[in-house]
A and B are shown apart, each in its own frame.
Chain A
């Protein structure tokens, strides 16, 4: 089982729609959570951190459910420019070394259509 799992999609939604992605993680000791965005043939960039109390940044809302070990990202009023792959990222202790490092999910692809 992967340490961080995401539905690869693609999610095809019309402009203005609300879309939500979920991500599950396997290590209950994980402490830090993030969403990164990656455009086609570009590098990943931080979209937002995910706090225990949930947080919002404009049209984007991130939530964390520690009990069920999942993270969600909600995008309201989708824009064409939101089309990208959204990577769920969890700070996990690596099996071999015990050192913590960011572990990336494989990403969920979003395509917003006019």
Chain B
């Protein structure tokens, strides 16, 4: 049963520390998404990649957030330095997008980040 995996599942850190979240998309999927979910804002798209190339990171605070996809099996989201307002659940999702059509996205279990 193919699924998206994310690590760590929970992360508690102190303000100013670097946080790295990892995602392994479903094999064969060509698009990877990073979302952030909070009670106030709901689910927000931070960035996404297609065939490992960044397509859109307009939802991401550029000064402290960075997203990369070093290979087809790994996507990373890094926050440096972290701030309390970054506390949220970060979801990675993957999908197979053909000819620009929007298809189902499969979400990972999320990383629950708490910045003290």
CB interface residues, A 65-114, toward B, < 8 Å: 87, 91, 94, 96-97, 99-107
A97 to B101, CA, bound (A): 17
Q: Does B108 contact A (CB under 8 A)?
A: yes
Are A32 and B55 within 8 A (Cβ)? no
- Our pick among A46, A87, A97, A104 for the contact of B56 (Cβ within 8 Å) is A97
CB-CB under 8 A from B56, the residues of chain A are 94, 96-97, 99, 101
Interface string of B28-66 (1 = CB under 8 A from A): 000001010000001101001000000110110000000
Are A46 and B104 within 8 A (Cβ)? yes
CB-CB under 8 A from A105, the residues of chain B are 42
Are B45 and A101 within 8 A (Cβ)? yes
CB-CB under 8 A from A31, the residues of chain B are 102
Are A100 and B100 within 8 A (Cβ)? yes
Q: How many residues of B contact A (CB 8 A)?
A: 20
A97 to B110, CA, bound (A): 26
Are A43 and B43 within 8 A (Cβ)? no
Q: How many residues of A contact B (CB 8 A)?
A: 22
Are A106 and B100 within 8 A (Cβ)? no
* In the complex, residue of chain B having the shortest beta-carbon distance to the beta carbon of A107: B42
CB-CB under 8 A from A34, the residues of chain B are 102, 104
CB-CB under 8 A from B110, the residues of chain A are 43
Are B43 and A94 within 8 A (Cβ)? no
Interface string of B87-116 (1 = CB under 8 A from A): 000010000000011101101111000000
A48 to B91, CA, bound (A): 20
Show the binding face of A for B, using Cβ within 8 Å: 31-32, 34, 42-46, 87, 91, 94, 96-97, 99-107
Instruction: Report 9 cross-chain contacts, Cβ distance below 8 Å, ordered by A residue.
Output: A32-B101, A34-B104, A43-B108, A44-B107, A46-B105, A94-B59, A97-B58, A100-B100, A101-B45
Besides the contacts A43-B91, A104-B35, what 17 more A-B pairs have beta carbons closer than 8 Å?
A: A32-B101, A34-B104, A44-B91, A44-B107, A45-B107, A46-B105, A91-B102, A96-B58, A99-B56, A100-B100, A100-B102, A101-B56, A102-B102, A103-B45, A105-B42, A106-B42, A106-B43
